[in-house]
Structure 1
Amino acid sequence: MVGSWTNSGAASDLMIPLDRAAPVALHRQIEAAIRESVRSGRLPLGASVPPTRALAADLGVSRGIVVEAYQQLVAEGYLSSRPGGYTRVAAGPSPVPPRAPVRQAAEVRIDFGYGRADVAHFPRAAWLRSLRRVLTHAPDDRFGYASGGGVPELRLALADYLNRVRGTNATPSDVVVTNGFAQGIALVVQVLARRGARRIAVEDPSPDDDAREHARAAGLEVVGVPVGPDGVDVSALARVSADALVLTPSHQWPTGGVLPPPARAAVQRWARENDAVVVEDDYDAEHRYDRAPVGALQGLDPDRVIYAGTASKTLAPGLRIGWLVTPAGLVDELATAKVKADRGSSAVDQLALADFFANGEFDRHLRRMRPVYRRRRDALLAGLARHLPGFRPAGVAAGLHLVAWLPSGLTEDEVIVAGRAAGVGVGGVGRYRLSPGPAGLIFGYATLDPPAIEEGLALLAAALH
């Protein structure tokens, strides 16, 4: 960028065209080109121009021609020069100072926003060891364009891990590596729409920026299925006809319900009767505190269920690594769609994550983080009981957030506005609903230590009172 150009840059960056057949002398052409660059702002006030020797060599002219051009521009006031120093632009508008950020009416100091793992605990040293190993020992061909499914090492590691920990029924050939869940669901919707799908069912409430957004963009109708205390209401689902159903059965987002075995069987029956696929979003099932692990729905019906997972809630969202475990009949189409989307995810990051799994670092990281998140969850529950006893927590046994249902007489907007005025950020359930329902707040606790949680709840309670 010319605005930050200095003498260390290439002389060719000035982009001076010379026409040796023109009747205009070469030094006049150089003068005109630099003069126009100054006037247009492409060479801003204070920018250095190349030394005369460098510019002459780059243009293929004698140094005397460039010296003559510079002298004329100095005389006109476009350039300034001093002995032993750089020649700089001396004319033109002053650089525009950076605009001061606009302050919000009330700054949020304590943010209970959901969706973030605590990246301060990202295992940098272990990740670096994995990177070093793969950069040293990975076969050369791994650094070419990856297949749509992903590098073989990661597909194998994911199948082994998910079968062992999440109860999936996966083989490496079933796995498609993606750039997080957002890309994974986009690819699924794209493939289903190409196959003739017309309607997709989602939980109500459910995230509004993934499945719903991509389905509507693909021209699919979106229909909501109500959620009860234990997850999706299967009696309501039975009355829905759709080509696909997106579920969070192990920890419903955002209410936290866990789909019980009879309801899981009902979902399977619905999928068979409607010749539909189920997309299982297993976004944070590794974080559990007060209950035994709940196996993935995919393990019960691998021919109907697409399992979607991600490293965003376990390691860091910035890795942009997710995965799909897909029915055999969809693997090739999803892998092809992945290649068309971006030619495959970073091979180095995939290989590093595969090594991370193979050396047990992923399991060790989860064992370290569960007590950290549990202490924060416990601090949130204790703080709610102490400061906001009318708020009823739900979905507390797992995950990185909980929902607090509001007492009658309070609306989500009232609490959100009062909290923001007190410097506390919190979100409502209502924005994720397709139809009206009870008022509740979503408290994310993953990035807040217990003292901050206590302070935030005290401020929120004081603001409400």
Structure 2
Amino acid sequence: MTDSWATFGADLHLEPHAGGLRDGLMEALRDAVRTGRLAPGARLPSSRALAADLGIARNTVADAYAELVAEGWLTARQGSGTRVARRSEPRGGTPAARRTLPARRLPTYSLMPGQPDLASFPRAAWLRASRRALTDAPNEAFGYGDPRGRIELRTAIAEYLGRARGVYADPERVVICSGFIHGLRLVGSVLRNRRVREVAVESYGLDFHRGVLADAGLRTPCLPLDHQGAVTDELAGMRGVGAVLMTPAHQFPTGVPLDPDRRTAAVDWARATGGVIVEDDYDGEFRYDRQPVGSLQGLDPDRVVYIGTASKSLAPGLRLGWMVPPADMVEEVAAAKGFSDWTTGSLEQLVLAEFIASGAYDRHVRAMRLRYRRRRDQLVAALAERAPDIRISGIAAGLHAVLELPEGTERSVISAAAFQGLALEGLSFFRHPDAGRERDALVISYGSPPDSAWKGTLDALCRVLP
């Protein structure tokens, strides 16, 4: 018969001080409370369980608990067990225990780009998918598994990408990752091992993408942008470049889709030089006033690494993404993932696979497409009425818009917004250090503010625009 103390109660690490078992135990408990290692309200193990763990008599522990209750360090109530007294705050202890974080003033409103409407995460549907996935999960799903990811999710992703994004994929070519940064890090490692030394990036984009490539030992020269997207004709003249990172469906942050002729030019360059195109399809599901723009990978699956994630369609906190490398790169990517980390949990993969296969993912995307379009239209209407001189662009798709400002006003508008309690980001933040003339503009996320704050956010924005 198994002793009940072995399966009841919480573990507690203590090193009794010298000076007798009871007194040493009491001082160890006092120290744990003083330093904050035992927080106010924390429940302690039963006297029987702690005595068994420490190899001492149960009466010794019971006496120590009783004395500390009398001193005010602990409390004991019938049915609630023994707990650290609520008024017992850390008294002295190490500098780390006393250290507090500086106060931060948070903005009242935010239009910062980068995340979707988190309040609209489909909790009920996700919970149903979680129950089904956990019920049906095979035992081997709890092991280490294939570094490419669970076959269930790779199968669901391959079907979805082919149907919705025009990607040529089969489960054997899909690699699950924990987001775009993880995928880019893996690709950067593979490119470096293939002796690529430079990866061209668009003249406006995220600086930490350049940082990931730089960490892999890759230089990131600038590829110009205009109203038709990246000027891919210039790739032919960039002699040291062996790959290019692009956002062709909806350039981030300018919002323009890559012109069809330039899409062809990019693929022609890759075929002629043996180069690789890394396609960041970060919000391709969301389009409003245009036909869907398919993936660039569909033009040549052997020269394009396609990367997508659930960060914009569901939530970045899921840490789930996927990539479809060329067939001759799959094993290298899987090896890099297997040797470097195991960051994608099997259970989360099974839940997403069930969520997609059940049709819940498509239903959620369609619902959010309508929601974001309404937000976009409300933003356009507010600007037309209250700031008619501001030109807005990049609004046919995605979750953000670009508001063009008079020359030299970007910094002053952002400062005025901060005074109003509104967080904004300027287009200059996303500019490559080697890019040409800087534009004054704001990158506005209309998808992320909660409904309760949306009207106030729009009012604050319109007040600070010139």
CA distance in 2, matches of 1:253, 1:399: 9
TM superposition shift of 1:463 = 3.7
- Distance 1:450-1:126 versus aligned 2 partners, 3 A rule: closer
Would the aligned equivalents of 1:79 and 1:88 in 2 still touch at CA under 8 Å? yes
Partner residue in 2 for 1:14: 14
Query: 1:114-129 maps to which residues of 2 (within 5 A)?
Result: 114-129=113-128
1:219 corresponds, among 209, 217, 221, to: 217
Would the aligned equivalents of 1:203 and 1:232 in 2 still touch at CA under 8 Å? yes
- Distance 1:39-1:274 versus aligned 2 partners, 3 A rule: same
- Distance 1:422-1:347 versus aligned 2 partners, 3 A rule: same
SS where residue 243 of structure 1 aligns?
strand
Amino acid at match of 1:278: I
Partner residue in 1 for 2:409: 411
TM superposition shift of 1:456 = 3.0
> TM-score of the superposition, structure 1-length normalised?
0.85
Deviations 1:78-136 (A, max 9, x none): 989999996989998279899586242xx522211111111222222222222222222
TM superposition shift of 1:303 = 0.6
Deviations 1:402-452 (A, max 9, x none): 1111123x4221111101101211101111111242111100001236785
SS where residue 209 of structure 1 aligns?
helix
- Distance 1:260-1:103 versus aligned 2 partners, 3 A rule: closer
TM superposition shift of 1:55 = 5.4
Partner residue in 1 for 2:283: 284
CA distance in 1, matches of 2:89, 2:342: 47
CA distance in 1, matches of 2:101, 2:295: 49
Quick check: 240-249 or 121-130, which moved more?
121-130
Quick check: 127-136 or 31-40, which moved more?
31-40
Would the aligned equivalents of 1:117 and 1:314 in 2 still touch at CA under 8 Å? yes
- Distance 1:251-1:14 versus aligned 2 partners, 3 A rule: same
SS where residue 249 of structure 1 aligns?
coil
2:418 corresponds, among 411, 417, 420, to: 420
CA distance in 2, matches of 1:83, 1:249: 64
Quick check: 421-430 or 341-350, which moved more?
341-350
- Distance 1:228-1:450 versus aligned 2 partners, 3 A rule: farther
Sequence identity percentage: 42
Partner residue in 2 for 1:243: 242
Partner residue in 2 for 1:186: 185
CA distance in 2, matches of 1:61, 1:347: 42
Query: 1:82-161 maps to which residues of 2 (within 5 A)?
Result: 93=91, 102-104=103-105, 107-161=106-160
CA distance in 1, matches of 2:366, 2:16: 62
Partner residue in 2 for 1:256: 255
Larger Rg: 1
Partner residue in 2 for 1:24: none
- Distance 1:16-1:374 versus aligned 2 partners, 3 A rule: same
Would the aligned equivalents of 1:78 and 1:91 in 2 still touch at CA under 8 Å? no
> TM-score of the superposition, structure 2-length normalised?
0.84
Partner residue in 2 for 1:4: none
TM superposition shift of 1:372 = 0.7
Matched, 1:440 2:441: yes
Would the aligned equivalents of 1:379 and 1:453 in 2 still touch at CA under 8 Å? no
Amino acid at match of 2:132: R
CA distance in 1, matches of 2:372, 2:162: 25
Amino acid at match of 1:332: E
CA distance in 2, matches of 1:366, 1:88: 47
Would the aligned equivalents of 1:380 and 1:453 in 2 still touch at CA under 8 Å? no
Please provide the CA RMSD for this pair.
3.5
CA distance in 2, matches of 1:425, 1:68: 57
Structure 1 unaligned regions, length at least 5 = 1-6, 19-26
Quick check: 178-187 or 383-392, which moved more?
383-392
Would the aligned equivalents of 2:414 and 2:424 in 1 still touch at CA under 8 Å? yes
Would the aligned equivalents of 1:198 and 1:243 in 2 still touch at CA under 8 Å? yes
CA distance in 1, matches of 2:127, 2:363: 15
Deviations 1:42-68 (A, max 9, x none): 577988987776655544445676689
Amino acid at match of 2:422: V
CA distance in 1, matches of 2:237, 2:167: 28
Partner residue in 1 for 2:309: 310
CA distance in 1, matches of 2:425, 2:385: 20
TM superposition shift of 1:453 = 4.5
Deviations 1:306-328 (A, max 9, x none): 01111111111111110101101
SS where residue 200 of structure 1 aligns?
strand
CA distance in 2, matches of 1:88, 1:443: 48
Partner residue in 2 for 1:458: 459
- Distance 1:169-1:34 versus aligned 2 partners, 3 A rule: same
- Distance 1:464-1:93 versus aligned 2 partners, 3 A rule: same
